Structure 1
Amino acid sequence: MSPPTASPDAERELRERNRRFYDALWRDARLVMPERFNTWPLVESLLPERPRRLEVAPGLRPRLPVADTHFADISPPALAALAAAGGRAACALVSRLPYADAAFDLVAAMDIVEHVDDDLPAFAELARVTAPGGLFLLSVPLHPQAWTPFDEFVGHRRRYEPERLLALLAAHGFAVERSAVHGMQPASSRLLDLGMWFLTHQRRRAMWWYNRVGMPLSVRFQAPLAVQDGMIATAGVDTVLLVCRRTAPDPDAAIPSPRNGHG
């Protein structure tokens, strides 16, 4: 199955679809603090001497420390919860961030750039606000051929070909230093189908179970994050986590065209 084809009004339509889906999701969800995720040991190691922090579109699953971190999101329920916990929350799109150039030493965009119809402005903005030598934490789904109905359900516009992802990063001045397999999506397609049905038809009941059973179990049984130097072998990897350093853009980095128009 392939991702859907973009319409002329795709960006606006997708933004509104994401807002409706995630507003409804976060309105009945609870803020999960970053210390509970398997990304925390890595994040904690990146914090010294990087007090200027930004996380884009975290919803209620931030991976950077909440207190004194800037958060840009389009969901009012998420922004309200983050602000109440000590975050500096602003309503903004990843493609139009309301911050000065080189404003942050550490920027995180976890599972967000695959949601926008045109990812080039998103990468340009993330590069613009990251200070030279600063770090960029990114996670994205891989392999267009692995597209499932779940991708469409949660508002994905693409899965990335690894080669195109690396070229995008290089073109925007990001050098991959470390990487790891990432993601909390259930491996069972039946569980995903069941979850999508309940979220669609019995959202309040689904969120009750998710908040009190599903999320606690997912967090408790996460495997430790196995971080490696450079880029991991990506065959069979659903979602990758990258630690990148902001360098000068590579003017010779050619971004390959997606193999199927959505990579």
Structure 2
Amino acid sequence: MSASVSNTEVKAFWETNPVAAEGISARPGTVEFFRAFDALREADDCEPWEFSNCIHGYSESKGLRVLDVGCGNGYVLAQYAKYGAEVTGVDLTQTAIDLSCARFDLAGLRGEFRLTDGDRLPFEDGTFDIACSMGVLHHIEAPRPMISEMRRVLKPGGTIILMLYYWGSWKYHVVLRMKRILDPRYRGKSQAEALNMNDGAGCPLAKVYTRAQARELLSGFSDHRFELNQLSWRQLLLGFDRLLRPVLPHSNRSIFARTMGWNLYVTARKPR
């Protein structure tokens, strides 16, 4: 893959391809759309709400100021807002801002949303208690300016939370390689091209991170913690899971998901 993928190319793709919208029949921005999206996201083989709450601490966020960089359709911030956090979302696409505003309006929640590049956050130093960016940085060629800005706007002792695609995942090393052999859409593609296609045929960039790379990216922070999830039995057993489903535990509670999951969650703190 070329090392010259620009934020303009990334913006153009996500402007017309909001996350998960391709697999949802309801019109984006409607109650039905958000219900379908939430059900997909909170499914056992994706990111159950209880797991997400453990990562973010939604239920203990009352009174905290929370920033989501790359807020998508506002899912994460809505969870914080329901528990009394003061939330702000930024995104480089107008589509995401419109969807986030629609979600909050429909739910009767309060939040602020701004259209801006994450490399230049329009907030004062030390504004937020929590700054998160979920599933965003692995679509950006040069994420360090965004990390620097997130650190700047965090209060001393504040928390940064990231979700990145994991280099050591079963999906990256096995599923994508199997697709390159068996799936006509993936044949002839490089591993990097197949990785890009995970988020849609026209996605210009997707990357995977090791724990060491994630730690180095957050070298200006301390107390790094890592969690993994999202490895379904269907992926792990390559489709031969139907007969075993009645006796299999929830996939995200398995040791496989916790060691070879697709999503790498990184939490760290800005030094005081």
- Is 1:108 aligned with 2:132? yes
Gaps spanning 5+ residues in structure 2: where? 22-27, 43-47, 177-193, 240-249
Alignment match, 2:52: 39
Helix, strand or coil for the counterpart of 2:18?
helix
Q: Which amino acid aligns with 1:62?
A: V
Shift in Å at residue 246 of structure 1? 0.7
Q: Which amino acid aligns with 1:15?
A: K
Alignment match, 2:191: none
Distance 1:139 1:133 in 2: 20
| 1:43-76 superposed Cα distances (whole Å, 9 cap, x missing partner) | 3378457611111223233164135311112224
Helix, strand or coil for the counterpart of 1:137?
strand
Shift in Å at residue 17 of structure 1? 1.0
Alignment match, 2:143: 119
8 Å CA contact 1:6–1:117 kept in 2: the answer is yes
Distance 2:70 2:10 in 1: 15
8 Å CA contact 1:177–1:245 kept in 2: the answer is yes
Bigger radius of gyration: 2
- Is 1:96 aligned with 2:120? yes
Shift in Å at residue 42 of structure 1? 4.2
Q: Which amino acid aligns with 1:77?
A: D
Distance 1:160 1:81 in 2: 33
Name whichever structure is richer in helix by fraction: 2
Matches within 5 A, 1:1-263: 4-7=1-4, 10-22=6-18, 25=21, 26-27=28-29, 29-30=33-34, 32=38, 37=49, 38-44=51-57, 47-48=60-61, 51-60=64-73, 61-62=75-76, 64-66=79-81, 68-73=86-91, 74=93, 75-84=96-105, 85-143=109-167, 146=172, 148=176, 149=194, 151-154=196-199, 155=203, 156-170=205-219, 173-183=220-230, 188=235, 223=252, 236-247=260-271
8 Å CA contact 1:55–1:72 kept in 2: the answer is yes
Gaps spanning 5+ residues in structure 1: where? 193-220, 227-233, 249-263
| 1:158-213 superposed Cα distances (whole Å, 9 cap, x missing partner) | 1113212111111xx21244321134778539999xxxxxxxxxxxxxxxxxxxxx
| 1:127-157 superposed Cα distances (whole Å, 9 cap, x missing partner) | 1111110011111112189274354342443
8 Å CA contact 1:66–1:82 kept in 2: the answer is no
| 1:73-106 superposed Cα distances (whole Å, 9 cap, x missing partner) | 2224323224413222222232222211111011
Let me know the Cα RMSD of the aligned residues: 3.8
Helix, strand or coil for the counterpart of 1:114?
helix
How many residues of Structure 1 are paired with residues of Structure 2 in the alignment?
208
| 1:10-58 superposed Cα distances (whole Å, 9 cap, x missing partner) | 2211211122111782447316399961211443378457611111223
Please identify, of 59-68 and 81-90, the stretch whose mean Cα deviation from structure 2 is larger.
59-68
Distance 1:48 1:239 in 2: 23
Tell me the percent identity. Answer: 17
8 Å CA contact 2:34–2:103 kept in 1: the answer is no
Q: Which has the higher contact order (CA 8 A, sep 6+)?
A: 1
After superposition, the Cα gap between the structure-2 partners of 1:224 and 1:87, relative to the gap in structure 1 and judged at 3 Å, is farther
